[in-house]
Structure 1
Amino acid sequence: MEETQKKKAVRFLEGNKIYLRPLDIEDAELYFQMLYNSETRRLTGTQKSYTRQQITSYIEGKAEDSSSVLLLIVLKETDVVIGDVALQDIDTINRSSSIRIAIDAEQNQGKGYGSEAISLMLEYGFGILNLHRIELEVFTFNKRAAHVYEKLGFKIEGIQRDRLYFNHQYHDAILMSILEEEYRSLNRV
Protein backbone atom coordinates (compact mmCIF):
# COMPACT_ATOMS: atom_id res chain seq x y z
CA MET A 1 0.00 0.00 0.00
CA GLU A 2 1.37 3.40 -0.94
CA GLU A 3 2.07 5.84 1.89
CA THR A 4 0.10 8.53 0.09
CA GLN A 5 -3.00 6.34 -0.11
CA LYS A 6 -5.60 7.45 2.43
CA LYS A 7 -6.32 4.98 5.20
CA LYS A 8 -9.87 3.67 4.73
CA ALA A 9 -12.11 4.26 7.73
CA VAL A 10 -13.54 1.22 9.47
CA ARG A 11 -17.34 1.26 9.46
CA PHE A 12 -18.36 -0.94 12.38
CA LEU A 13 -22.08 -0.06 12.25
CA GLU A 14 -23.54 1.79 9.29
CA GLY A 15 -26.74 3.79 8.95
CA ASN A 16 -28.17 6.09 6.27
CA LYS A 17 -26.40 9.33 7.22
CA ILE A 18 -23.75 8.18 9.67
CA TYR A 19 -21.54 5.27 10.54
CA LEU A 20 -20.00 4.26 13.85
CA ARG A 21 -16.35 3.34 14.10
CA PRO A 22 -14.05 2.30 16.92
CA LEU A 23 -12.08 4.93 18.80
CA ASP A 24 -8.37 4.56 18.12
CA ILE A 25 -5.32 6.02 19.87
CA GLU A 26 -4.89 8.21 16.77
CA ASP A 27 -8.19 9.88 17.78
CA ALA A 28 -6.83 11.12 21.12
CA GLU A 29 -6.41 14.76 20.05
CA LEU A 30 -9.82 14.83 18.37
CA TYR A 31 -11.47 13.29 21.44
CA PHE A 32 -9.64 15.74 23.70
CA GLN A 33 -10.95 18.69 21.64
CA MET A 34 -14.51 17.31 21.61
CA LEU A 35 -14.42 17.05 25.38
CA TYR A 36 -14.04 20.81 25.72
CA ASN A 37 -17.11 21.90 23.76
CA SER A 38 -18.95 23.89 26.47
CA GLU A 39 -22.48 23.00 25.33
CA THR A 40 -21.63 19.30 25.10
CA ARG A 41 -20.15 19.48 28.60
CA ARG A 42 -23.38 21.07 29.89
CA LEU A 43 -25.69 18.56 28.19
CA THR A 44 -23.66 15.57 29.39
CA GLY A 45 -22.91 16.98 32.84
CA THR A 46 -19.15 16.67 32.29
CA GLN A 47 -17.45 18.62 35.06
CA LYS A 48 -13.90 17.36 35.29
CA SER A 49 -11.01 18.60 33.24
CA TYR A 50 -8.72 16.10 31.55
CA THR A 51 -5.23 16.26 30.13
CA ARG A 52 -4.24 14.86 26.76
CA GLN A 53 -2.35 12.10 28.57
CA GLN A 54 -5.46 11.16 30.57
CA ILE A 55 -7.46 10.96 27.34
CA THR A 56 -4.78 8.78 25.74
CA SER A 57 -4.82 6.48 28.79
CA TYR A 58 -8.64 6.38 28.70
CA ILE A 59 -8.64 5.32 25.04
CA GLU A 60 -5.98 2.67 25.71
CA GLY A 61 -8.06 1.37 28.63
CA LYS A 62 -11.22 1.14 26.51
CA ALA A 63 -9.44 -1.25 24.16
CA GLU A 64 -9.14 -3.70 27.08
CA ASP A 65 -12.59 -3.04 28.61
CA SER A 66 -15.13 -5.75 27.76
CA SER A 67 -17.86 -3.98 29.74
CA SER A 68 -18.25 -1.18 27.20
CA VAL A 69 -18.45 -0.46 23.48
CA LEU A 70 -17.32 3.10 22.67
CA LEU A 71 -17.72 4.27 19.07
CA LEU A 72 -17.26 7.53 17.22
CA ILE A 73 -20.17 8.94 15.20
CA VAL A 74 -19.01 9.85 11.68
CA LEU A 75 -20.85 11.54 8.81
CA LYS A 76 -20.94 9.19 5.81
CA GLU A 77 -20.59 11.92 3.18
CA THR A 78 -17.53 13.63 4.66
CA ASP A 79 -15.96 11.17 7.15
CA VAL A 80 -16.09 13.96 9.77
CA VAL A 81 -16.40 12.79 13.39
CA ILE A 82 -19.33 14.55 15.08
CA GLY A 83 -19.57 12.75 18.42
CA ASP A 84 -19.47 9.46 20.24
CA VAL A 85 -21.89 6.87 21.57
CA ALA A 86 -21.29 4.10 24.07
CA LEU A 87 -22.88 1.07 25.63
CA GLN A 88 -21.44 1.02 29.15
CA ASP A 89 -21.57 -1.15 32.24
CA ILE A 90 -22.50 -4.15 30.12
CA ASP A 91 -23.73 -6.84 32.50
CA THR A 92 -23.81 -10.20 30.70
CA ILE A 93 -25.47 -12.02 33.61
CA ASN A 94 -28.45 -9.67 33.88
CA ARG A 95 -28.24 -8.79 30.16
CA SER A 96 -28.32 -5.06 30.79
CA SER A 97 -26.35 -1.95 29.91
CA SER A 98 -26.51 1.81 29.94
CA ILE A 99 -26.11 3.97 26.86
CA ARG A 100 -24.75 7.48 26.43
CA ILE A 101 -24.25 9.80 23.49
CA ALA A 102 -22.65 13.16 22.79
CA ILE A 103 -22.94 15.13 19.55
CA ASP A 104 -20.05 17.57 19.47
CA ALA A 105 -21.31 20.74 17.81
CA GLU A 106 -24.67 22.48 17.75
CA GLN A 107 -24.70 22.52 13.92
CA ASN A 108 -24.81 18.69 14.03
CA GLN A 109 -27.70 18.53 16.50
CA GLY A 110 -31.35 18.28 15.47
CA LYS A 111 -30.51 16.53 12.18
CA GLY A 112 -31.29 12.96 13.18
CA TYR A 113 -27.66 11.89 13.62
CA GLY A 114 -28.12 11.13 17.32
CA SER A 115 -31.31 9.15 16.72
CA GLU A 116 -29.56 7.11 14.05
CA ALA A 117 -26.54 6.47 16.29
CA ILE A 118 -28.74 5.37 19.21
CA SER A 119 -30.78 3.14 16.88
CA LEU A 120 -27.62 1.47 15.56
CA MET A 121 -26.42 0.86 19.12
CA LEU A 122 -29.80 -0.51 20.23
CA GLU A 123 -29.78 -2.92 17.29
CA TYR A 124 -26.24 -3.97 18.22
CA GLY A 125 -27.06 -4.26 21.92
CA PHE A 126 -30.24 -6.29 21.51
CA GLY A 127 -29.34 -8.16 18.32
CA ILE A 128 -25.65 -8.98 18.80
CA LEU A 129 -24.86 -8.61 22.51
CA ASN A 130 -28.17 -10.27 23.46
CA LEU A 131 -29.05 -7.57 25.99
CA HIS A 132 -32.50 -7.44 27.58
CA ARG A 133 -32.50 -3.91 29.05
CA ILE A 134 -30.71 -0.69 28.09
CA GLU A 135 -31.02 2.40 30.27
CA LEU A 136 -29.94 6.01 30.14
CA GLU A 137 -30.24 9.21 32.09
CA VAL A 138 -30.95 12.61 30.63
CA PHE A 139 -31.00 15.90 32.51
CA THR A 140 -34.37 17.63 32.67
CA PHE A 141 -33.01 20.74 30.93
CA ASN A 142 -32.20 18.63 27.84
CA LYS A 143 -35.80 18.37 26.63
CA ARG A 144 -34.84 17.74 22.99
CA ALA A 145 -32.85 14.63 23.91
CA ALA A 146 -35.59 13.33 26.24
CA HIS A 147 -38.10 13.70 23.39
CA VAL A 148 -35.80 11.80 21.00
CA TYR A 149 -35.34 8.96 23.50
CA GLU A 150 -39.11 8.65 23.94
CA LYS A 151 -39.56 8.55 20.14
CA LEU A 152 -37.03 5.71 20.02
CA GLY A 153 -39.08 3.73 22.57
CA PHE A 154 -37.43 4.54 25.90
CA LYS A 155 -39.84 4.68 28.85
CA ILE A 156 -39.46 7.01 31.82
CA GLU A 157 -38.76 5.07 35.00
CA GLY A 158 -38.29 7.93 37.40
CA ILE A 159 -36.68 11.20 38.31
CA GLN A 160 -33.39 11.41 40.17
CA ARG A 161 -33.73 14.62 42.15
CA ASP A 162 -30.79 17.04 42.26
CA ARG A 163 -28.65 14.49 40.37
CA LEU A 164 -26.30 17.07 38.83
CA TYR A 165 -24.70 20.16 40.30
CA PHE A 166 -23.68 22.33 37.37
CA ASN A 167 -23.07 26.06 37.08
CA HIS A 168 -24.23 26.86 40.63
CA GLN A 169 -27.50 24.91 40.33
CA TYR A 170 -28.85 21.45 40.99
CA HIS A 171 -30.62 19.68 38.14
CA ASP A 172 -32.83 16.59 38.09
CA ALA A 173 -32.16 13.63 35.81
CA ILE A 174 -34.74 11.45 34.11
CA LEU A 175 -34.01 7.73 34.22
CA MET A 176 -35.26 5.94 31.10
CA SER A 177 -34.97 2.44 29.72
CA ILE A 178 -36.03 0.23 26.86
CA LEU A 179 -36.53 -3.52 27.05
CA GLU A 180 -35.70 -6.01 24.34
CA GLU A 181 -39.35 -6.87 23.58
CA GLU A 182 -40.30 -3.16 23.42
CA TYR A 183 -37.50 -2.57 20.95
CA ARG A 184 -38.47 -5.59 18.85
CA SER A 185 -42.16 -4.62 18.73
CA LEU A 186 -41.28 -1.07 17.60
CA ASN A 187 -38.80 -2.28 15.00
CA ARG A 188 -40.63 -5.46 13.99
CA VAL A 189 -37.45 -7.51 14.30
Structure 2
Amino acid sequence: MVTLKGEYIYLRALEPEDLDFIYEIENDTELWELSDTQTPYSRFLIKQYLDNAQQDIFEAKQLRLAICDKNDNTLGLIDVFDFNIKNKRAGIGILIKSNSDRFKGYGKEALELLVNYCFKILHLHQVYANISENNIASMNLFEGNGFKRIGLKEDWNFDGNLYNNEYILQRINK
Protein backbone atom coordinates (compact mmCIF):
# COMPACT_ATOMS: atom_id res chain seq x y z
CA MET A 1 0.00 0.00 0.00
CA VAL A 2 1.34 3.42 -0.95
CA THR A 3 0.63 6.34 1.33
CA LEU A 4 2.06 9.79 1.73
CA LYS A 5 1.80 9.48 5.52
CA GLY A 6 4.64 8.27 7.66
CA GLU A 7 5.15 7.78 11.36
CA TYR A 8 6.18 11.40 12.05
CA ILE A 9 5.31 13.37 8.92
CA TYR A 10 3.01 13.43 5.94
CA LEU A 11 3.26 14.93 2.47
CA ARG A 12 0.43 17.03 1.07
CA ALA A 13 -0.41 19.14 -1.96
CA LEU A 14 0.31 22.85 -1.73
CA GLU A 15 -2.46 25.10 -0.49
CA PRO A 16 -3.03 28.87 -0.94
CA GLU A 17 -2.11 29.23 2.75
CA ASP A 18 1.45 28.11 1.89
CA LEU A 19 2.16 31.42 0.13
CA ASP A 20 4.11 33.00 3.02
CA PHE A 21 6.09 29.81 3.69
CA ILE A 22 7.11 29.46 0.03
CA TYR A 23 7.79 33.21 -0.23
CA GLU A 24 10.27 32.98 2.66
CA ILE A 25 12.04 29.97 1.16
CA GLU A 26 12.23 31.33 -2.39
CA ASN A 27 13.58 34.69 -1.16
CA ASP A 28 16.15 33.36 1.33
CA THR A 29 19.42 34.15 -0.46
CA GLU A 30 21.26 31.47 1.54
CA LEU A 31 19.05 28.84 -0.12
CA TRP A 32 19.46 30.14 -3.67
CA GLU A 33 22.51 27.96 -4.19
CA LEU A 34 20.30 24.88 -3.71
CA SER A 35 17.74 25.90 -6.31
CA ASP A 36 19.96 27.67 -8.84
CA THR A 37 17.99 30.88 -8.20
CA GLN A 38 19.51 34.34 -8.57
CA THR A 39 16.52 36.67 -8.26
CA PRO A 40 13.77 37.13 -5.68
CA TYR A 41 10.18 36.08 -6.31
CA SER A 42 7.21 38.36 -5.68
CA ARG A 43 4.16 37.28 -3.73
CA PHE A 44 2.20 37.75 -6.96
CA LEU A 45 4.36 35.23 -8.86
CA ILE A 46 4.17 32.71 -6.01
CA LYS A 47 0.40 33.14 -5.85
CA GLN A 48 0.21 32.44 -9.60
CA TYR A 49 2.40 29.36 -9.07
CA LEU A 50 0.09 28.14 -6.28
CA ASP A 51 -2.95 28.74 -8.49
CA ASN A 52 -1.38 26.45 -11.11
CA ALA A 53 0.16 23.95 -8.66
CA GLN A 54 -2.90 21.74 -8.95
CA GLN A 55 -1.88 20.74 -12.48
CA ASP A 56 -1.33 17.04 -12.95
CA ILE A 57 2.34 15.96 -12.84
CA PHE A 58 1.97 14.56 -16.37
CA GLU A 59 1.06 18.05 -17.60
CA ALA A 60 3.30 20.22 -15.39
CA LYS A 61 6.31 17.83 -15.44
CA GLN A 62 6.86 18.62 -11.78
CA LEU A 63 5.24 18.18 -8.39
CA ARG A 64 5.91 20.08 -5.18
CA LEU A 65 4.58 18.77 -1.88
CA ALA A 66 4.64 20.25 1.61
CA ILE A 67 6.29 18.23 4.37
CA CYS A 68 4.14 18.51 7.52
CA ASP A 69 4.43 17.09 11.01
CA LYS A 70 1.56 15.38 12.84
CA ASN A 71 0.53 18.77 14.31
CA ASP A 72 0.05 20.14 10.76
CA ASN A 73 3.12 22.40 10.97
CA THR A 74 4.80 22.84 7.59
CA LEU A 75 8.45 21.80 7.93
CA GLY A 76 9.66 21.96 4.35
CA LEU A 77 9.12 21.09 0.73
CA ILE A 78 9.91 18.10 -1.43
CA ASP A 79 9.92 18.26 -5.21
CA VAL A 80 9.71 15.97 -8.18
CA PHE A 81 11.13 17.82 -11.18
CA ASP A 82 12.24 17.12 -14.72
CA PHE A 83 9.53 14.44 -14.85
CA ASN A 84 10.14 12.41 -18.00
CA ILE A 85 7.39 9.89 -18.64
CA LYS A 86 8.98 8.48 -21.83
CA ASN A 87 12.16 7.47 -19.99
CA LYS A 88 10.37 6.93 -16.66
CA ARG A 89 12.66 9.13 -14.57
CA ALA A 90 12.56 12.30 -12.50
CA GLY A 91 14.70 14.42 -10.23
CA ILE A 92 14.03 14.86 -6.52
CA GLY A 93 14.87 17.81 -4.28
CA ILE A 94 14.12 18.36 -0.61
CA LEU A 95 14.37 21.20 1.88
CA ILE A 96 13.65 21.28 5.61
CA LYS A 97 13.36 25.00 6.34
CA SER A 98 14.37 25.38 9.98
CA ASN A 99 17.73 24.27 11.37
CA SER A 100 15.89 23.14 14.50
CA ASP A 101 13.85 20.65 12.42
CA ARG A 102 16.84 19.17 10.63
CA PHE A 103 18.52 15.91 11.68
CA LYS A 104 15.32 14.64 13.30
CA GLY A 105 14.47 12.12 10.59
CA TYR A 106 11.80 14.24 8.87
CA GLY A 107 13.77 14.48 5.63
CA LYS A 108 14.54 10.77 5.70
CA GLU A 109 10.89 9.85 6.11
CA ALA A 110 9.76 12.38 3.46
CA LEU A 111 12.30 11.04 0.96
CA GLU A 112 11.24 7.43 1.63
CA LEU A 113 7.57 8.34 1.11
CA LEU A 114 8.25 10.23 -2.11
CA VAL A 115 10.53 7.58 -3.63
CA ASN A 116 7.89 4.94 -2.83
CA TYR A 117 5.26 7.14 -4.52
CA CYS A 118 7.51 7.63 -7.59
CA PHE A 119 8.14 3.91 -7.98
CA LYS A 120 4.75 2.44 -7.08
CA ILE A 121 2.27 5.10 -8.28
CA LEU A 122 4.13 6.94 -11.05
CA HIS A 123 5.87 3.71 -12.14
CA LEU A 124 9.22 5.44 -12.59
CA HIS A 125 12.27 3.35 -13.38
CA GLN A 126 14.66 5.76 -11.68
CA VAL A 127 14.97 8.93 -9.65
CA TYR A 128 18.00 11.16 -9.27
CA ALA A 129 19.32 14.09 -7.28
CA ASN A 130 21.92 16.79 -7.91
CA ILE A 131 23.82 17.60 -4.71
CA SER A 132 26.74 19.92 -4.04
CA GLU A 133 29.76 18.05 -2.76
CA ASN A 134 29.74 20.47 0.21
CA ASN A 135 26.22 19.43 1.25
CA ILE A 136 27.25 16.46 3.39
CA ALA A 137 23.85 16.21 5.12
CA SER A 138 22.03 15.80 1.79
CA MET A 139 24.62 13.35 0.50
CA ASN A 140 24.10 11.23 3.63
CA LEU A 141 20.31 11.52 3.36
CA PHE A 142 20.14 10.34 -0.24
CA GLU A 143 22.84 7.68 0.06
CA GLY A 144 21.06 6.38 3.17
CA ASN A 145 17.95 5.96 0.99
CA GLY A 146 19.68 3.77 -1.60
CA PHE A 147 20.91 6.46 -3.99
CA LYS A 148 24.34 5.86 -5.54
CA ARG A 149 26.84 8.46 -6.72
CA ILE A 150 27.10 8.03 -10.46
CA GLY A 151 28.99 11.13 -11.51
CA LEU A 152 30.75 14.32 -10.52
CA LYS A 153 30.16 17.56 -12.38
CA GLU A 154 33.34 19.58 -11.82
CA ASP A 155 33.17 23.34 -11.19
CA TRP A 156 29.43 23.08 -11.79
CA ASN A 157 28.05 25.85 -9.57
CA PHE A 158 29.49 29.28 -8.86
CA ASP A 159 28.64 30.62 -5.39
CA GLY A 160 29.90 34.15 -6.04
CA ASN A 161 33.44 33.36 -4.93
CA LEU A 162 34.26 29.80 -5.91
CA TYR A 163 33.18 27.08 -8.28
CA ASN A 164 31.80 24.01 -6.52
CA ASN A 165 31.50 20.44 -7.72
CA GLU A 166 28.14 18.71 -7.80
CA TYR A 167 27.38 15.01 -7.59
CA ILE A 168 24.58 13.29 -9.41
CA LEU A 169 23.03 10.46 -7.44
CA GLN A 170 20.65 7.88 -8.84
CA ARG A 171 18.35 5.22 -7.51
CA ILE A 172 16.97 2.61 -9.87
CA ASN A 173 13.69 0.84 -9.16
CA LYS A 174 14.75 -2.81 -9.12
Task: Give your verdict on TM over 0.5.
Answer: yes
- Preserved CA contact (<8 Å) 1:85 1:117: yes
CA RMSD of aligned residues (A): 1.7
Residue among 14, 18, 21 paired with 1:27: 18
Alignment match, 1:90: 83
- Preserved CA contact (<8 Å) 2:88 2:126: yes
Deviation of the 1:167 alpha carbon: 3.4
Deviation of the 1:169 alpha carbon: 1.7
Write the deviation string for residues 98-120 of structure 1: whole angstroms up to 9, x where unpaired.
11111101111111111111100
Structure 1 residue 150 corresponds to structure 2 residue 132: no
Alignment match, 2:108: 115
Alignment match, 1:177: 170
**Aligned counterparts of 1:61 and 1:179: Cα–Cα separation in 2:** 30
- Preserved CA contact (<8 Å) 2:27 2:41: no
Alignment match, 2:66: 72
**Aligned counterparts of 2:42 and 2:24: Cα–Cα separation in 1:** 11
Alignment match, 1:130: 123
**Aligned counterparts of 1:16 and 1:47: Cα–Cα separation in 2:** 36
- Preserved CA contact (<8 Å) 1:69 1:86: yes
Alignment match, 1:52: 43
- Preserved CA contact (<8 Å) 1:45 1:166: no
Structure 2's unaligned 5+ residue stretches are: none
Write the deviation string for residues 77-127 of structure 1: whole angstroms up to 9, x where unpaired.
x21101000111211111111111111011111111111111000000001
Deviation of the 1:13 alpha carbon: 1.2
Structure of higher CA gyration radius: 1
Q: TM-score, normalised by structure 1?
A: 0.83
Aligned residues: percent identity? 29
Residue among 147, 158, 162 paired with 2:155: 162
Q: TM-score, normalised by structure 2?
A: 0.89
Q: 1:17 is matched by which residue type in structure 2?
A: Y
**Aligned counterparts of 1:35 and 1:133: Cα–Cα separation in 2:** 27
Write the deviation string for residues 148-179 of structure 1: whole angstroms up to 9, x where unpaired.
11111001111111221113221111000100
Q: 1:120 is matched by which residue type in structure 2?
A: L
Q: 2:65 is matched by which residue type in structure 1?
A: L
**Aligned counterparts of 1:82 and 1:36: Cα–Cα separation in 2:** 17
2:53 counterpart SS class: helix
Deviation of the 1:44 alpha carbon: 4.4
**Aligned counterparts of 1:165 and 1:65: Cα–Cα separation in 2:** 33
**Aligned counterparts of 1:58 and 1:166: Cα–Cα separation in 2:** 27
Label 1:40 to 1:106 Cα distance change in 2 as closer, same or farther (>3 A): farther
Structure 1's unaligned 5+ residue stretches are: 1-11, 182-189
- Preserved CA contact (<8 Å) 2:10 2:67: yes
Which range moves more in the overlay, 13-22 or 40-49?
A: 40-49
